[in-house]
Amino acid sequence: MDTLIKLRTSRLWLQPLTISQLRLYPDNLARLDDELGFPVSRAVVTTRVERAIDMKLARMEGASVQLHPWQTYWLMVVQAAPFGAGLIGFKGFPDSAGEAEIGYGIDPAWQGQGYTTEAVKALIAWAFREPGCQAVVARDTKRSNVASLRVQAKAGLTVYRESEDALWLRIER
């Protein structure tokens, strides 16, 4: 994957992580810091993220390099710091209906400042420039996750399905 791919917002850049960079999570983050030239958050590396990284690596190793941006995490880099404050990405390339599911997380110290909303908007815009992506979805967002629901609403996603404890949201091209 070309590491020169970067998406920019007014305060962030999003950089898709290569297979070798993704392999450095979670045990070799100091080495990743050195490779990138700036520190990355340790707070976003949860057990859930570690499992997702394992799945992403398995998919990337079997996929064309051109599809890697759909498979990997993109690092949310605060330009002013610079600091890798969070991770965002899709849970694979668009399915047969043209839907790609988005997921993200940001260091608690950087929450509530609009960075995640900027990142979500930028990644959705990128996805809609790519052939085959007709919609971006956020499935099974817990109603109790008010911050994430706020991010999704600000990014233009709307509810298309509900359960007692969760919402499914989407935005179409």
The string of pLDDT tens digits covering residues 125-138 is: 999 999 999 999 99
Positions of the chain with pLDDT under 70 = 1-4
pLDDT at 62: 85
Tell me the pLDDT tens digit for each residue of 82-106. Answer: 999 999 999 999 999 999 999 999 9
pLDDT at 1: 46
**Number of folded domains that form the chain:** 1
Residue 1 in any domain: the answer is no
Residue 122 in any domain: the answer is yes
pLDDT at 4: 56
> In 88-99, which positions are buried (b, 16+ CB within 10 angstroms) versus exposed (e)?
bbbbebbeeeeb
* Beta-bridge partners for 171: 136
C-beta atoms surrounding 81 within 10 Å: 12
Q: What is the C-alpha separation between 41 and 33, in angstroms, rounded?
A: 10
pTM of the model: 0.94
Q: Which CATH number goes with the domain that contains 43?
A: 3.40.630.30
> Which domain covers residue 55, as residue numbers?
7-172
Residue 165 in any domain: the answer is yes
Alpha-helical (H) ranges within the chain are 19-22, 29-36, 47-61, 68-71, 115-129, 146-154
pLDDT at 50: 96
pLDDT at 168: 98
Residue 145 in any domain: the answer is yes
pLDDT at 123: 98
pLDDT at 26: 84
